[in-house]
């Protein structure tokens, strides 16, 4: 059979990029939309076999989009699969009640996707697509990660984060925090140096990239003069 025409709806450029490459790596023909309204426009002008929908999106979220698709005069026979970081059982149950085909927790599980495709498109042949290489973020690629983390230590050249996220070694990051704002730097570039796990948390050490004398002096002054940061050293 021809390639399976797929619509991927996700507001995150990074998630959208990687999910698209993974889906294309097994031979799917993928179009993308960055929110629910763009997805509805594409659905007005195209026929899709599969639709992957993120739940957390601005303007029109995933639940709203699924409802809009279900209420359209021209019904779609496309299978809808939620692809989301929301992992609470009430979110899963709410989505399933809307008639979706499946619910996949991010990151995308390509084995589960292939299983669903085999169920719906039994004649689809994956074999010729198995050697397509999958992309990865280059070590020099600068990305912004939206994640809550606690700064547990800071020095004139590095800081250590405590969080539930495990970041890859040598990643270059942009981090915004109240402490860094106090230093006069709203966005500060750092290089991941090392990471270790204790219990459910990762402790990640990041080095400042080319720290200026002003930055080092500001950190020294912050630690010395502000009791709020007495536990940060």
Q: What pLDDT does residue 187 have?
A: 53
Q: What pLDDT does residue 149 have?
A: 63
Q: What pLDDT does residue 97 have?
A: 94
Q: What pLDDT does residue 194 have?
A: 78
Nearest to 87 by CA among 100, 102, 105, 99: 105
What tokens does 201 get?
């948390």
Q: What pLDDT does residue 227 have?
A: 42
Q: Rounded distance, CA 229 to CA 23, Å?
A: 46
| Maximum distance among all Cα pairs of the chain, rounded to whole angstroms | 70
pLDDT in tens, 81-93: 999 988 889 999 9
Between 229 and 188, name the one with better pLDDT: 188
Q: Name the CATH topology of 142-229.
A: Thrombin, subunit H (2.40.10)
Compute the 3-state secondary structure of the chain and give helix, strand, coil in percent, each to the nearest 5: 35, 25, 40
Q: What pLDDT does residue 17 have?
A: 84
Whether the CB-CB separation of 8 and 30 falls below 8 Å is answered with yes
* Residue 167's pLDDT band (cuts 50, 70, 90): low
Q: What pLDDT does residue 128 have?
A: 58
- The SS3 assignment for 146 reads coil
H/E element, 174 = strand 172-175
Check if 5-129 and 142-229 are the same fold: no
Q: What pLDDT does residue 108 have?
A: 81
H/E element, 61 = none
Average model confidence (pLDDT) across the chain: 76
pLDDT in tens, 118-152: 888 877 776 655 444 444 444 343 344 445 566 67
Percent of the chain scoring above 70 in pLDDT: 71
Nearest to 110 by CA among 6, 13, 11, 200: 6
Q: Is the model's pLDDT at 229 over the cut of 50?
A: no
pTM over 0.75: no
pLDDT in tens, 5-17: 999 999 988 888 8
Q: Rounded distance, CA 38 to CA 15, Å?
A: 17
- The SS3 assignment for 56 reads coil
What tokens does 212 get?
């200026």
Q: Which of 133-142, 175-184, 218-227 has the lowest mean pLDDT?
A: 133-142
Percent of the chain scoring above 90 in pLDDT: 29
pLDDT in tens, 35-61: 999 999 999 999 999 999 999 998 899
Nearest to 5 by CA among 37, 40, 41, 29: 29
* Domain made up of 5-129: CATH architecture: 3-Layer(aba) Sandwich (3.40)
pLDDT in tens, 200-221: 777 878 777 777 777 777 777 6
Q: Rounded distance, CA 227 to CA 176, Å?
A: 21
Residue keyed to tokens 């989301």: 84
- The SS3 assignment for 84 reads strand
Phi, then psi, of 176 in degrees rounded to 5: -115, 130
Q: What pLDDT does residue 138 have?
A: 43
First-to-last alpha carbon distance for the chain, in angstroms, is 62
Half-sphere exposure of 178 (CA within 13 A, CB side): 6
Q: What pLDDT does residue 7 have?
A: 97
Nearest to 161 by CA among 181, 140, 180, 142: 180
Strand order in the sheet with 29-33: 29-33, 5-9, 50-53, 79-84, 102-105
What tokens does 126 get?
């994956």
Q: What pLDDT does residue 132 have?
A: 45
Query: Residue ranges of the domains in the chain?
Result: 5-129, 142-229
């Amino acid at each position: 059979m021809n390639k399976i025409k797929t619509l991927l709806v996700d507001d995150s450029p990074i998630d959208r990029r990687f999910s698209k490459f993974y889906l294309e790596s097994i031979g799917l023909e993928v179009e993308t939309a960055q929110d629910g309204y763009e997805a509805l426009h594409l659905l007005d002008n195209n026929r899709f076999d599969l639709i992957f929908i993120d739940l957390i999106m601005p303007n029109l979220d995933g639940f709203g989009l699924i409802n809009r698709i279900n209420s359209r005069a021209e019904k779609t026979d496309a299978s809808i699969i939620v692809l989301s970081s929301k992992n609470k059982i009430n979110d899963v149950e709410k989505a399933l009640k809307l008639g979706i085909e499946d619910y996949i927790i991010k990151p995308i599980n390509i084995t589960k996707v292939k299983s669903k495709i085999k169920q719906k498109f039994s004649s689809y042949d994956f074999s010729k697509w198995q050697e397509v290489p999958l992309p990865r973020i280059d070590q020099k690629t600068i990305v912004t990660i939206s994640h809550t983390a606690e700064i547990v230590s800071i020095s004139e050249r590095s800081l250590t984060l405590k969080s539930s996220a495990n970041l890859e070694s040598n990643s270059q990051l942009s981090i915004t925090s109240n402490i860094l704002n106090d230093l006069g730097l709203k966005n500060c570039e750092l290089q991941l140096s090392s990471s270790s796990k204790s219990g459910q948390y990762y402790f990640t050490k990041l080095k400042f990239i080319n720290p200026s004398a002003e930055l080092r002096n500001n950190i020294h002054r912050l630690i010395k003069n502000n009791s709020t940061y007495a536990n940060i050293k």
